[in-house]
Amino acid sequence: MKKAFTLIEMLISVSLLSVITIFLYQTYASLQQSNRFYAQELEEASHEQKLRKTIYLDISLSLPGSVQIHSIDEDSDVIFMQSSHSVHRRIMPYIGYLKKEGHLFRIESSHELFYPLTGEEEMLIDDLGEIQTLRLFQKENSFLVYLEKNDQKMILFRTNRLNDVVDF
């Protein structure tokens, strides 16, 4: 009667354990890679959502008649407005959007902005990321925003001004 494992039985069990360990490691590595990919995608989606929300709030809370659109070329507009939305906790700030060197910049100032900017204005500038196209189209109190990112992702949305007085 045997009371111990034979050498063959030990080799087979170690081999099976090795094969299972290799498969587990490959599965773990694949899981880590997919987690990194989805974390990056989630961050990009979150950034796009914040960008869309900021532009939406700036335009929809703009004062009537304050939106000025300066067409620079077929890919970019410079947009100035006064809005009740502020990222930097200013009261009724003047806001500008412009594309420069492939980046979208948001300008917030306590003083009215004019095109072209002189550089002497007191303002806070936020880099909202790389873009290829920035266009704003206006028809009465309705706006269509068209942004195209460098990775060919397009952001297109329509908004109405919320600060308009509506008569019933």
How would you class 53 by CB atoms within 10 Å of its CB: exposed for 0-12, middle for 13-18, buried for 19 or more? exposed
Residue 163 has pLDDT above 70, yes or no: no
Sequence spans of domains, the chain: 8-168
| pLDDT digit string, tens, across residues 70-83 | 998 888 899 999 99
pLDDT digits (tens, 9 = 90+) for 2-35: 678 788 989 999 999 999 999 999 999 999 999 9
Q: Output the pTM of the full model.
A: 0.74
Q: What is the pLDDT of residue 151?
A: 74
